[in-house]
Amino acid sequence: NDPNGLIYYNGQYHVFFQHNPYDTKWGPMHWGHVVSDDLTNWKYLTIALTPGDEFDKNGCFSGSAIVYDGKLWLMYTGFIENQGGESIRQIQCLAESDDGITFKKHGTVIGTELLPEGYAPEDFRDPKIWRHNDCFWCIVAAKRKGGRGRILMYKSKDLFKWEFVGDLFGVDSAGAMIECPDYNEEAGY
């Protein structure tokens, strides 16, 4: 589910997706990976991201991809279940690849310490990243404690050190949670 990180890199179209390789039900999410030369015929590659590190030990949730400095970068949500409920943590993590197939994880780059006060660390996911005017920008789905879905914005000069910019709309959405927000610079939304 959740196709994400759709990008053109090294002469191929890449699509990543949440994937549980152990069952047909939702479980410890990995990032599956397919590529195409023509957007019609697709080839499955090895799993791009596997949970298991301290920052994503219970799952690698959705995110996005960007090409920068000749490398393919993935920003994704690391899921830490702990005891469930409010002890769950969702944090934004970074991985890079020189070949578009194997990825090196760099760990947490937007952690719960960058959440504004009053936001729920168990509902903080699905980063969408892009570059504009020599700066990286990222929107992340979030929720205020006791509230409904919101979208938070962050910025960075180097993909590793991020700062909070603001809550894009400043009010709760109509939905319980916003999933997989996106941004299209050409359309302006």
Catalytic residue numbers, as ranges = 2
- Cα–Cα distance for residue pair 160/149, rounded to 1 Å: 26
Report how far apart the first and last C-alpha atoms of the chain are (Å, whole number). Answer: 23
Q: 151 with 167: CB under 8 angstroms?
A: yes
E strands within the chain?
3-9, 12-19, 30-36, 42-44, 59-68, 71-80, 89-97, 104-110, 119-132, 135-144, 149-156, 162-167
Torsions phi, psi for 112 (to 5 deg): -65, -20
- Cα–Cα distance for residue pair 136/90, rounded to 1 Å: 21
Structure tokens at 51: 């949970």
- Cα–Cα distance for residue pair 7/139, rounded to 1 Å: 17
